[in-house]
Amino acid sequence: MAEWIHPGIVIMLGAFLTPFLVIRKVKQAYIVLLPTVGLIILLLTSMGIFGSIPAYPSALHKWRIPFLHYTLELGRIDKMSMIFAYVYVVIGIAMLIFALREKNDWEHVAALIHIGSSVSAIFARDLFSYLFFVEIATWSAVFLIWFRGTKTSKASGFRYFFWHVLAGGFLLAGIIMHVQSTGSIDLDLMPWGFDWSYMPYYFMMIGFLIDAGAFPVHSWLPDAYSTGGVTSVLYVTAFSTKTGIYGLIRCFPGVELLIWLGVITAVIALFLAVLENDARRLCGYHIISQDGYMICGAGIGTYLGILGSVSHIICHIIYSCLLLMGASTVLSVTGTCKFTNTGGLYKYMRISFWLYLIGGFSISGVPLFNGFVSKSMTIEAAELVHLPIAYLLLEGATVGTFLHTAIKLPYNLWFQGREEPPADIKVKLKDRSENTPINMLIGMSIPAFLCVFMGVYPYYPFYEMLPYPVEFVPYTITRVFSIAQMFVFTFLAAWFLRTLIRGTPTFTLDSDWLGRVPGNALISFCKEPLLAFGAFLDKSILRVAHIVIAYVRSPVIGLRMTPAGIGPGVAIILIIFTLLAVFIIKGN
Amino acid sequence: MTITKKFLLKVFYIFFVGGSLVLGSLLLYFDKLHYHFSFQYIPGFFAICGFVFCAILILGAKLLGIWLVKPVDYYEKRRRK
């Protein structure tokens, strides 16, 4: 049996060679080749070259490394980690092709490190290496956001970094407490309950939830996704939240709290999305909303719930990448993706519109697209455990997703009832042919093909790759008809209220307001009034101390000094004596 | 005949809106639809769902917007202060 090679490590280490390749074509080929090597390793693993993969939850164990008195394991190969790794690598390839014309080598390096570290986090069996690779992914993501090079991208990159360091801190605190009390370092099922003894698991869950972008700790997500680099932010959107949800699925399946958190996340993000004017921010809110479905599926925790959650992650990575690619093409061609500045682009960007629309239909769960299969699975799981309210809210979220991604976003970006785009954009467009570069279109076609293929025929290889055997049949008359009727009436309501879904040149506050306004106020309060008060207190106490010393030395000099320090000094002495007196009396 | 917006709307109203309601009633009548909750059997439940949720979402968000919507340079202005 051959020795297994870690695909994530290969991609990460290989990334550093990119800047040294001088010839441009060779460099471009190398960038795409590297994750393809990862894909080949995964295919060989699936074929059983490195040992046959047992049924989930047992796994093949590779790359064990002794560390202190623990054993780290970088290669836990089971059906769960394999399906994640596959989709990460395939979508990584699509994104790298999409960004192939990018001239900044370091963007490609950061992208490859991000893909590689995310794949490594998925394969890690122990909590330490999971955290280690998640932190590497965070670092590379920060650079990917900064590559936009604007002032706002720098600020939001920092905010992204702080949120993820906070998540890492929570996770690390939880891990240390967990390891202290149990001695186990496995990233596996954790106990759950409501008691002080479960503290480490609360910490770990908060860490995962911040990474996953759950309400109310989601605000870093639209902030970072809308200000990051034109092509580079795509990598961040696809992997970082999903690695967090992967942790939730591994550690906390069946925790009821997650069901409600997931449902609330799915709905609230949509309310905020209505008010958005920026296409990428809107996509960011949709990623949060879909993350809600996955968290909910993990919380339901039945076989179907876990399957729904995992398959929704897989499908979501594919179509969300397509959605953001659509917004990115408009941004890279016209220089803006704000609804108030675009419109009338259809004749100039036909192909990218249709490819985008495949993503839009997929995320909404229109039959024959992959979102329909995975979303129905999660919703069915909620139905089977008899949660009517969760079911209704998830259906409501489906309606909202259709409204935004299949109606609002394409209408505002490509149409707005205009034949021609605004004059300042028209200057940047060539002629009435497709303006999108060919590599971007190829990059978009890969996820578009997967969306349709997995939607039309989910049974192979998609169902085969899921961790548990799947008996779920997505295409029943009931389901297809119900969802079609729902979408027809969603369109009707959107048509009646069409004037309200146009973009407005405004900015919407989110939960990061709490940090940015009251938080800043707290900092400035600490900086000025609190410090001034502290200095005043310091001075008064010193003055009183001087008087006391002077009294002890010579009462005559002390008496002479008294009038100067009598005010606050004596007051403080009085307070201290009163407190002392109270304690003494109470003590007796 | 050229396809106008008005014509498309008429097609949408008659075939899609009307058609889905009629088809839904027929499917329900012939017992072809199988649901988990009793409220899903209300005729036109999914139609109501789609319309009402969509309307709540748009109108509710506009209501929330009274507090949440700010000018684009909201944070920059605050910082300058």
Annotated domain spans of chain B: 5-80
B51 close to A (CB below 8 A): yes
Contact A274 B61 (CB under 8 A): yes
Kindly list the distances between the CA atom of residue A587 and the CA atoms of A308, A538, A573, A578, A582, in Å, as whole numbers in the listed order: 63, 30, 21, 14, 8
A226, two tokens? 């809308």
Q: Over range A453-476, report the average pLDDT.
A: 89
Q: Over range A362-385, report the average pLDDT.
A: 91
Out of A104-118, A417-431, A463-477, pick the least confident: A417-431
How distant is the Cα of B78 from the closest Cα of chain A, in angstroms?
8
For residue A514, pLDDT over 90 is answered with no
- What pLDDT, on the 0 to 100 scale, is given for residue A346? 85
Substitution target in A285, A482, A498, A499 with the highest count of B β-carbons within 10 Å is: A482
Instruction: Considering only the C-alpha atoms of chain B, give the largest distance between any 2 of them, rounded to a whole number of Å.
Output: 68
B55 close to A (CB below 8 A): yes
A573 close to B (CB below 8 A): no
Chain A residues whose beta carbon lies within 8 Å of the beta carbon of residue B62? 274-275, 500
Contact A399 B68 (CB under 8 A): no
Most confident of A79-88, A504-513, A548-557: A79-88
For residue A456, pLDDT over 70 is answered with yes
Q: Which residue has the tokens 């693993």?
A: A45
Chain A residues whose beta carbon lies within 8 Å of the beta carbon of residue B17? 488-489, 492
| Separation of CA A300 from chain center | 21
| Closest C-alpha among A7, A59, A87 to residue A311 | A87
**DSSP strand E in A370-410: where?**
none
Which residues partner with A65 through β-bridges?
A72
| Closest C-alpha among A294, A299, A180 to residue A251 | A299
Percent of chain A whose predicted confidence (pLDDT) is above 90? 46
- What pLDDT, on the 0 to 100 scale, is given for residue A541? 86
Q: What is the 3-state secondary structure (H, E, C) of B12-47?
A: HHHHHHHHHHHHHHHHHHCCCCCCCCHHHHCCCHHH
Closest partner residue to A492 (CB to CB) among B51, B53, B60 is: B51
The pLDDT mean for chain A works out to 88
Chain A residues whose beta carbon lies within 8 Å of the beta carbon of residue B27? 477, 481
Contact A481 B36 (CB under 8 A): no
Closest partner residue to B58 (CB to CB) among A483, A497, A520 is: A497
Q: Over range A485-497, report the average pLDDT.
A: 89
For residue A515, pLDDT over 90 is answered with no
Chain A residues whose beta carbon lies within 8 Å of the beta carbon of residue B73? 507
* Number of helical (H) and strand (E) elements in chain B, helices listed first: 4, 1
pLDDT digits (tens, 9 = 90+) for A92-118: 999 999 998 888 889 999 999 999 999
A497 close to B (CB below 8 A): yes
Q: Which residues of chain B have pLDDT under 70?
A: 1-2, 80-81
Q: What are the phi and psi torsion angles at A62 (to 5°)?
A: -125, 165
Closest partner residue to A478 (CB to CB) among B33, B47, B71 is: B33
Q: Which residue has the tokens 């973009």?
A: A503
CA distance A273 to A170: 29
pLDDT digits (tens, 9 = 90+) for A168-207: 999 999 999 999 999 888 888 899 989 888 999 999 999 9
Kindly list the distances between the CA atom of residue B53 and the CA atoms of A270, B22, B48, B65, in Å, as whole numbers in the listed order: 11, 21, 8, 18
- What pLDDT, on the 0 to 100 scale, is given for residue A576? 81
Contact B51 A490 (CB under 8 A): yes
Residues in chain B: 81
How distant is the Cα of A99 from the closest Cα of chain B, in angstroms?
29
List CB contacts of B7: < 8 A, sequence separation 6 or more: B1
10-29 in B: which are within 8 Å (CB) of A? 12, 16-17, 20-21, 23-24, 27
- What pLDDT, on the 0 to 100 scale, is given for residue A556? 64
- pLDDT band at residue A41 under the 50/70/90 scheme: very high
- What pLDDT, on the 0 to 100 scale, is given for residue B81? 62
Classify each residue of A394-428 as buried b or exposed e, where b means 16 or more C-beta atoms within 10 Å of its C-beta.
bbbbbbbbbbbbbbbbbbbbbebeeeebbeebeee
Which is more confident, A580 or B16?
A580
A568, two tokens? 């606050």
- What pLDDT, on the 0 to 100 scale, is given for residue A561? 64
Asked if A170 and A232 touch (Cβ cutoff 8 Å), the reply is no
B-chain residue closest to A501, CA distance: B58
- What pLDDT, on the 0 to 100 scale, is given for residue A557? 66
Asked if A70 and A452 touch (Cβ cutoff 8 Å), the reply is no
- What pLDDT, on the 0 to 100 scale, is given for residue A569? 63
CA distance A503 to A330: 16
A139, two tokens? 């670092």
In three-state secondary structure terms, A507 is strand
- What pLDDT, on the 0 to 100 scale, is given for residue A567? 62
In three-state secondary structure terms, A73 is strand
How distant is the Cα of A584 from the closest Cα of chain B, in angstroms?
50
- What pLDDT, on the 0 to 100 scale, is given for residue A338? 86
- What pLDDT, on the 0 to 100 scale, is given for residue A265? 93
Which is more confident, A585 or A43?
A43
For residue A230, pLDDT over 70 is answered with yes
- pLDDT band at residue A149 under the 50/70/90 scheme: confident
For residue A564, pLDDT over 60 is answered with no
- What pLDDT, on the 0 to 100 scale, is given for residue A233? 87
Q: Over range A310-317, report the average pLDDT.
A: 93
| Closest C-alpha among A373, A237, A220, A361 to residue A293 | A373
Contact A399 B49 (CB under 8 A): yes
Contact B72 A507 (CB under 8 A): yes
Q: Over range A514-520, report the average pLDDT.
A: 84
Chain B residues whose beta carbon lies within 8 Å of the beta carbon of residue A490? 50-51, 53-54
Q: Over range A297-311, report the average pLDDT.
A: 92
| Closest C-alpha among A81, A7, A74 to residue A38 | A7
For residue A284, pLDDT over 80 is answered with yes
- What pLDDT, on the 0 to 100 scale, is given for residue A259? 93
Contact B57 A400 (CB under 8 A): yes
How distant is the Cα of B13 from the closest Cα of chain A, in angstroms?
9
**Using alpha carbons only, what angle is made at residue A209 by residues A277 and A175, rounded to the nearest 5 degrees?**
150
A44 close to B (CB below 8 A): no
B-chain residue closest to A513, CA distance: B75
Chain A residues whose beta carbon lies within 8 Å of the beta carbon of residue B41? none
**Using alpha carbons only, what angle is made at residue A490 by residues A486 and A492, rounded to the nearest 5 degrees?**
120
Substitution target in A341, A415, A478, A485 with the highest count of B β-carbons within 10 Å is: A485
- What pLDDT, on the 0 to 100 scale, is given for residue A124? 92
